[in-house]
């Protein structure tokens, strides 16, 4: 059954899927999966530094990881962070349309996002250098650079496996799961 994003039914089914995957998948989780984003969400929600740095922040931020078939990503992946004055209301894998409605969208190739998570590339510098593309108000991001940096630090704290580092049979299983998620949740 395909769920429609933005409905209570979608949210309930998504939470149920996350719970099932948290219980069944082995750690470390694959980066940019619902279980990985659930751990990221928990870290952000519990982080006093982020709450302090982001108390003036308003708005949603979408992260777009561009498709990289060689890495196991046949389609773009979109992660939406619902952030409001230091609160992280949710972090979800979402359909493209939802990400495009976000107040801010940061887009980049898989390799760039991997470098950001591995602390090899600073996200703000990557935006300024054009390595990641920003849609939204850059001065607001710059004024909230501590909050943005802390989000990236927290994401890097979530232990994760990268699809391009997995053996091919595991990568194929991941591809099949992504295809199923697209069909069921539109992501």
pLDDT digits (tens, 9 = 90+) for 10-28: 999 999 999 999 999 999 9
Structure tokens at 19: 């719970």
The string of DSSP letters for 56-124 reads T-EEEEEEEE--BGGGTB-S-EEEEEEEETTEEEEEEE--HHHHHTSSEEEEE-HHHHHHHHTTSS-HH
Structure tokens at 129: 């250098």
Q: Could you tell me the fold of the domain covering 8-185?
A: Nonspecific Lipid-transfer Protein; Chain A (3.30.1050)
Q: What are the residue ranges spanned by the domains of the chain?
A: 8-185
* DSSP β-ladder status, 29-30 and 87-93: unpaired
- Residue 57: per-residue pLDDT: 92
- Give mean pLDDT, residues 127-142: 90
Question: pLDDT at residue 142 above 90?
Answer: no
- Give mean pLDDT, residues 163-184: 94
pLDDT digits (tens, 9 = 90+) for 89-129: 999 999 999 999 999 999 999 999 999 999 999 988 999 89
Question: pLDDT at residue 1 above 90?
Answer: no
Coil vs helix vs strand at 30: strand
Chain length of the chain: 187
- Residue 8's φ and ψ, nearest 5 degrees, are -60, -35
- Residue 167: per-residue pLDDT: 95
- Residue 117: per-residue pLDDT: 94
Residue among 142, 156, 154, 155 nearest 48 (CA):
154
User: At 141, is the pLDDT very low, low, confident or very high (cuts 50, 70, 90)?
Assistant: confident
How many whole angstroms separate alpha carbon 35 and alpha carbon 30? Answer: 8
* Average per-residue pLDDT for the chain: 94
- Residue 164: per-residue pLDDT: 95
Contact present, 59 and 104 (Cβ < 8 Å):
yes
């Amino acid at each position: 059954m395909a769920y429609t994003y933005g409905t209570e039914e979608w949210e309930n089914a998504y939470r149920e899927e996350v719970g099932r995957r948290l219980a069944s998948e082995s750690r470390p989780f694959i980066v940019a999966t619902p279980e990985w984003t659930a751990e990221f969400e928990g870290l952000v929600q519990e982080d006093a530094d982020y709450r302090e740095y982001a108390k003036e922040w308003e708005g949603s931020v979408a992260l777009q990881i561009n498709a990289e078939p060689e890495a196991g990503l046949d389609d773009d992946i979109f992660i939406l962070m619902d952030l409001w004055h230091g609160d992280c209301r949710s972090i979800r894998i979402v359909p493209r349309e939802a990400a495009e409605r976000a107040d801010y969208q940061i887009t980049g190739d898989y390799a760039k996002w991997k470098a950001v998570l591995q602390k090899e590339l600073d996200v703000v510098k990557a935006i300024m250098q054009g390595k990641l593309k920003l849609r939204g108000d850059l001065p607001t991001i710059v004024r909230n650079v501590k909050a943005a940096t802390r989000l990236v630090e927290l994401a890097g704290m979530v232990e994760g496996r990268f699809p391009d580092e997995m053996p091919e049979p595991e990568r194929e299983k991941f591809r099949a799961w992504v295809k199923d998620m697209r069909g069921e949740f539109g992501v």
